[in-house]
Amino acid sequence: MPLSQTIQALSDANRRKILDLLKKGELPVAEINKKLDITGATLSHHLDILKRADLLSVRREGQQMIYSLNLSVFEEAAEQLVKFFEVKKPKNKSPQWRG
Amino acid sequence: MPLSQTIQALSDANRRKILDLLKKGELPVAEINKKLDITGATLSHHLDILKRADLLSVRREGQQMIYSLNLSVFEEAAEQLVKFFEVKKPKNKSPQWRG
DNA sequence: GTATTATTTAGATATACATCTAAATATCTA
DNA sequence: TAGATATTTAGATGTATATCTAAATAATAC
């Protein structure tokens, strides 16, 4: 997944909350919904975005849809972000733009 | 800085490009602008957002404004994100929601 | 001081998106 | 099959925001 899509997925507070909840283990939609102050439709929309970013998987269990974190993708996203934040200290202090 | 503001700042591709450029060292606005396909006004807007997220500092040098990365804040943001991505593996496999 | 260069600010526009209500789909139960 | 429950989809709405042009501010050069 491109970093842009991951960051995009993380850019909403409710979606971060969803990820946080799922870090502790899989959950059906209704359980997630209890923790968030949004309608089911809105939650479904957020879940869809996280799913398209490949951060979540779903399976059906009876009437319920059970969402879980895609651990490998989640960790890979973390690595990409860490890489983005890496700053290679330049040896020479001369500005890159003068001259 | 709250994580929300950092992620918000990172959520635009041009802003990520700006941060990337400044990782290599400080730059005046005009130099940054050469690398981005946006007007000066738009660039100024993005710089303002990054500055408000405390990720950048500015100083004046003659007519030029020279922007640089706030390294400590940048690294702190990285730590916050890493923390967000930490998954505590549960010892027991039983779902948190059944029962 | 006037012109020139560098950047920011103001104001407008168009698009993206979080949210809602209502309707549709899917499963289970009686 | 009819009704109840769980979730998603469709469609509408309001707000946020990336972008632009034009004008304002700041510093230097003549």
Sheet containing B56-61: which strands, arranged edge to edge?
A: B27-28, B64-69, B56-61
- Strand C neighbours with CB under 7 A? A 8, 11-12, 14, 37-42, 45-46, 49, 60, 62-63; B 28-30, 33, 40-41, 43-45, 47-48, 58, 63-66
- How would residue B88 be classed by pLDDT, with cut points 50, 70 and 90? confident
The residue assigned the tokens 């990337």 is B20
Which stretches in chain A have pLDDT values below 50?
A: none
Residue range B21-62, pLDDT digits in tens? 999 999 999 999 999 999 999 999 999 999 999 999 999 999
pLDDT for B94 equals 83
DSSP 8-state secondary structure symbol assigned to residue A94? S
pLDDT for B91 equals 77
pLDDT for A67 equals 98
Q: Name which of B29, B81, B83 to mutate to probe chain A: the one with the most chain A Cβ atoms within 10 A of its Cβ.
A: B81
pLDDT for B96 equals 87
pLDDT for A93 equals 76
Kind of pairing between the strands at A64-69 and B27-28 = unpaired
* Chain centre distance of CA A1: 11
Q: What is the DSSP string of A35-57?
A: HSSS-HHHHHHHHHHHHHTT-EE
* Contact list, B88 vs chain A (CB under 8 Å): 23-24
Residue A4 Cβ < 7 Å to strand D: no
Q: pTM above 0.85?
A: yes
